[in-house]
Amino acid sequence: MAFEIDVVVIFSDQDNQPNGWVDSFRKYFNTVLSYLSSDQLNVVLKSEFDTVTSPSLNNVGVLVSILSSDFTKSAHCREYLQKFDMATRDTAAQVTRMFKVYKSPVAVHDQPAELRDFFGYDLFNLDLDAGEAKAFTHYFSEDAERQYWMEMVDLCYDIHNTLQFLKQGKSLKDVRNLFSHKPVYLAQTGYDLTVQRNIIHRELQRLGYTVLPSRSLPGELRDFERAVKEDLAQAGVSIHLIGADAGQVPNGTDKSAQELQNLLAMERGVSAKERNEEFPRFIWITNQLAQAGERQKKFIEGLRRDVETSEGAEIIQSQLEDFKAIIREELFDTFENHSDDDSGGESVYVLYDKLDSTLVEPLLDMIALSGLKVLHPDFDRDLLSLRQQHIDNLRKFDAAIVFQGTMNDQWVRMKVLDLLKAPGFGRKKRISAKAVVCSDETLPDGGRFGDERLTLISGKPLSPQAIATFLNQLKE
């Protein structure tokens, strides 16, 4: 299936004023998407008063909505959604073609009906102390790397997956389930734990688990309970992250979505026990509870003391990494514990392909002689174990070098993108420096990706002085 427009981004004019937020979104969206696709994709912005783009929207592959309060009030934006929904209903059951990006929080019941069932991608920064959401203006800050870029990469991966299905009839989802494990129910949270939930969600997916719920939970109590029960019936375990923000409260109850999901998971556990089955629950409570309301505090106190509510559950209130370690021990015993030497000191992760193992040796020697620790792939491992080692290295390294060798530009793009996704694997510290080592004088596609912080080291033979200059950034 071919399209005149691969992706159309619809938005309220007000959301692009005064600082061009939508223009910046399109710039970074185009950049990341280009690293995933070998095709030149046509991405078009369509504001609410646009009269140029096809009004029927039947020549568009994917529609992205920039959600905000201004968007929900725009009759034109809602009309575009309705037209696209009508034009794509023949494929709606097979693949998601509408995506929603949150520029600011919008309650589910305030969203257009066409978007309510879909998960959103949060591209705003929630300031818990001030109690307000703020748009990102510094796109390479630490907060942006942990929120904006993680969500942007996920959005682009999902859209790339959809376009592959529409154009070629194949989907990346077919290879996600590497094991026969039952799905994991990862309960939806409040805004304050969005990043933490995303980190665990990605790790579960990368390790082959299907994660439920796969869509946004309904806003009406009866529909909400039905959807959660259906997902819990499929799942083999449930994970709940409890924070200061109570999150969504479905219509028809005063209980938050967090409370309801926990109660329904408890019922699922009781039912499993009656059948001599296991349904473990893991509950993590953040230490950052200063902004919690009275009802949320009572809910958390109840979790800690109420034997009935917490029956069959393991409740942890510690660092997120400790909680992840417990989950890993319970769920991920497929993998060996490859915790390579982590005795301290600055480390450089060198990413290269097995075909270039000989070519990269001089570079590895230079790094080792400088007194820095070298992290690199161990190609003697099986594929899944090698992937786990890669994830561990993404968490630990201080600086990274992508060594191109004989590989093509697309391979370089994917490795640089992995570095950008590092916070999604649980990385907490900032990356000190990143470089690409290649024989060409320019980065792939003119260096469009990460120009601000990506160093190019080029030439044959490899210049020891250039490498030394780069490594000195870690020692200063």
2 by DSSP, 3-state: which? coil
Q: How many CA atoms lie within 13 A of 451 on its CB side?
A: 8
**Residue 139: pLDDT above 80?**
no
Q: What pLDDT is attached to residue 190?
A: 86
Cα(418)–Cα(349) distance, rounded to whole angstroms?
Answer: 12
Confidence band (pLDDT; 50, 70, 90) for 206? low
Q: Which residue has the higher pLDDT, 38 or 286?
A: 286
Q: What is the pLDDT of residues 28-72, one digit of tens each?
A: 898 888 777 767 889 999 998 887 666 667 889 999 999 999 999
Q: What pLDDT is attached to residue 443?
A: 57
**Residue 256: pLDDT above 90?**
yes
**Residue 239: pLDDT above 90?**
yes
Q: What is the pLDDT of residues 146-175, one digit of tens each?
A: 678 878 888 888 888 889 888 877 544 443
Query: Residue 83: CB partners within 8 Å, gap ≥ 6?
Result: 55, 56, 57
pTM of the model: 0.55
Q: What pLDDT is attached to residue 175?
A: 35
Per-residue pLDDT averaged across 192-199, rounded? Answer: 80
Domains in the chain, please, with CATH?
A: 5-175 (3.40.50.360), 184-331 (3.40.50), 347-475 (3.40.50.360)
Q: What pLDDT is attached to residue 382?
A: 66
DSSP state of 220: B
User: How long, in residues, is the chain?
Assistant: 476
Determine the distance from the C-alpha atom of residue 180 to the mean position of all C-alpha atoms in its chain, rounded to a whole number.
23
Confidence band (pLDDT; 50, 70, 90) for 312? low
Instruction: Lowest mean pLDDT of 48-52, 157-161, 338-342, 385-389, name the range.
Output: 338-342
**Residue 376: pLDDT above 80?**
yes
**Residue 207: pLDDT above 90?**
no
Instruction: Lowest mean pLDDT of 211-225, 403-417, 451-465, name the range.
Output: 451-465
Q: Which residue has the higher pLDDT, 322 or 392?
A: 392
Alpha-carbon separation of residue 253 from 224, 257, 260 (angstroms): 11, 10, 10
**Residue 281: pLDDT above 90?**
no
Instruction: Lowest mean pLDDT of 125-129, 164-168, 242-246, 278-282, name the range.
Output: 125-129
**Residue 263: pLDDT above 80?**
yes
**Short-list 256, 262, 246, 189, CA closest to 221:** 256
Find tokens 């904006």 and name the residue. Answer: 148
Confidence band (pLDDT; 50, 70, 90) for 130? low
Cα(255)–Cα(243) distance, rounded to whole angstroms?
Answer: 15
Residues 310-332 as b or e (16 or more Cβ within 10 Å = b): bebbeebbeebeebbeebeeebb
